[in-house]
Amino acid sequence: MAMAEPPFPHPPAAMRTALDALVRQDPRLAAIEAAAGPLPWRVRTPGFPGLLQAITGQQISNQAAHAIWRRLAATPGALDPAGLSALPDAALLAAGLSRPKVAHARALAAAFVDGRLSEPALRALDDDAAVGAITAIRGLGPWTAEVYLLFAQERADVFPAGDIAVAGAAAHLLGLAERPGPVALRGLAEAWRPHRALAARLLWHHWRHITGRPSMDELPG
C-alpha cells in the first residue's frame, strides 16, 4: 500500500553516502527505496525530551504513542527534568502515561537532575557504553536506548533488534518463514555493520510502505 511521502527531510549527505554503501553491501536493501521512495530522515530532540519520548512509545501502538506524546509535550514543565519531577502523578496520568511509565519518567528525570545522565556525557560514549548508561535507569531497556541513540543522536550503527516492526520488515524483505526474534535479528544485522542503524531506518521505511502504518512521528497534529 503506497503512502504519501512524509514531511521529513532526506538524509544528510554523509548519511546518503553511507546508505549507498550499505545497499552495495547488501543489494536486497536497495529494493526498499525503489518501492517506497526516498528514505525520510526522522530525528528527535536530544537529551531528556528524546528519552522521554522513547519511554512514551514503549510497547504501545504508534497511534496511541503519538496521542500521549502530544498531551505530554503540551503539559507545562513536562519536557524539563526538574519540571517533570515537580508535576503531580495526576498530571502525567492525565496525559496518558501508565503508572509504570510515570515511575520510569520520574526515574529518568531524577537521573538528569542529579547528573547521572546528560546529553553531552552520552554523546562522549561509544554505542555500547551509551546503551549501558541509559539502561542503568529504571524502566529504560535496550530498545528505548537504541531508539534514542538512533533518532536523537543520529548514530549510524546502533540496531534495535527488539523492535517488532524491524523484525517484521526483515522477514518480509528477506523471505523468512517467520519473524526473527531479537537474537536472530541481531545476528542478521551483523552483515550490515557499520551501518546497522541505517539498515533499521530502511526496514522501518519498508514496514510503513507494506503495511500503510505511519510511525509515531508521522501522524498529523
* Residue 86 in grid coordinates: 515537580
Q: How many CB atoms lie within 10 A of CB 184?
A: 15
Residue 59 has pLDDT above 90, yes or no: no
Contacts of 110 (CB under 8 A, 6+ apart): 81, 85
* Predicted confidence (pLDDT) per residue in 106-125, tens digit: 999 999 999 999 999 999 99
pLDDT at 217: 65
pLDDT at 7: 52
Q: What angle do CA 87, 92, 94 make, to 5 degrees?
A: 125
Bigger pLDDT: 8 vs 58: 58
Q: Which domains does the chain have, with CATH numbers?
A: 48-151 (1.10.340.30), 156-216 (1.10.1670.40)
| Residue 22 and residue 156 in contact, taking contact as beta carbons nearer than 8 Å | no
* Predicted confidence (pLDDT) per residue in 159-170, tens digit: 999 999 999 999
Q: What angle do CA 190, 196, 202 make, to 5 degrees?
A: 125
Alpha helix locations (H) across 26-141?
A: 30-36, 48-56, 62-73, 81-86, 89-95, 99-113, 119-123, 127-135
pLDDT at 216: 60
The region that residue 115 occupies, defined by phi over 0 for left and psi between -120 and 50 for alpha, beta otherwise, is left
* Predicted confidence (pLDDT) per residue in 75-103, tens digit: 999 999 999 999 999 999 999 999 999 99
